[in-house]
Structure 1
C-alpha cells in the first residue's frame, strides 16, 4: 500500500536537488508524514527516528498532507447528491451486510492531538488525552461520504451529530435521498436511513 501511494503522490512531493545539497526522496517524505499521522509523535521525536531536522519535518508534513488530499479527494470523499447514487450505496449495504435501505454508517472518532496553545481543557476528552472529534459517514468500503471535524470533545456523539452540517442537510433534504419505498413483499413505505450505534437516537430527519 505504501508503494502504491508513493506512485500516486510521488510527483507531487518530489523536490529538485540543488548545488548545495541533495533533496529528500518522496518515499522518505511520505514515510515521515504517515508515521506522524499514525503515532502523533512530535517533530523532534520523528527527527531522531528518521534523522531529519525537526524544522525540516515541520515543512514536509503539511505539504505532503496537501498532496495526499489533492490526489485522493475524489476517491475517498465523494458525498452523493442524487437519489440513484444513494440507492447504489444502499444496495451495497443490503448485499454485503444485509442492512436494507441503509445509505451510510455513522460514528465519531477521537483523534489525539497536541494541546493547542492556550487550549486549556477545550480539547481534553474523557479518555484522558487531548483530541479533536471526527464525525464520519462511510459506505461499505469504508470510504467517507461526509465528514465533520473539530467539534468540542466534551459533547456526546448525539450532540456532535445534532450540530453538524450533515444533520442540517438531512432536515432540509439537501442530500437528495430517495423517497421511501416498500420492502420486497410489503406495501408499507420504508425510508432510507443512516445506521449507527446506540449513542445515536432512532429518529426521522424531521425530529
Structure 2
C-alpha cells in the first residue's frame, strides 16, 4: 500500500519505546466522563506506523445506510484476546496501559482495533463504543495515534458541557474513561484539507466494542 507520511521532526528515535505514564493529564468532561491525554507518549511512532501499514492485513468494509450499501471510509483490522498483535511494540503498549490503569479499570485491556485513515476523505462519524458493556457500564478505551495528526472531537449527548477537540498523531495517547462511552460521543471528521495518513489503535477490555 503506497501512503506518504510526513514524518515528525520531534520523533527521530531509532527504537520504538513508551515513556512513563506519570505525565498523563486528566480532564473532567462532565456527567462522570473524563479523558487522559499524553502527547508523544510513544517514541519511534513513525517507524511503527510504517510497519503496520506494511504488515497488517487491512480490510475494507461496507455497510447499509439509508437503504443503500456504502463503503466504510477507513480500513480496519481487529485483534481479539487470543490473537497475536501485529507488532511487538503494541504488546509493550498494552502492557504499559494495563500496569497504569489496571487498578482503576478493574480488568485488563485485551483487544486491539486498528483504523487506517488514508487521507481527509476517511473518517468516522459520531458514536460511542456502546456495542457491548460500554452501553451500561463505565469502562475505558485507550487510543494510540500514529502518523499524521487528525482531530478527535468529543461532544456530550445532552446539552450543557462544552465539546472537546484534540489533534492526535505521531505517538499521542488519549484514554476515554468513566461514563465517556455512554454520556459522550466521539468522531474523526472528514476534512477537505490536505492531511496525511493516520492509524488509530484502540485498546479495550473484553466485551466493549
The TM-score bracket by the shorter chain reads under 0.3
Instruction: Give me the TM-score of the superposition, normalised by structure 2.
Output: 0.25
More strand by share: 2
Instruction: Give me the TM-score of the superposition, normalised by structure 1.
Output: 0.25
Q: Which has the larger radius of gyration?
A: 1
Q: Which has the higher contact order (CA 8 A, sep 6+)?
A: 2
More helix by share: 1
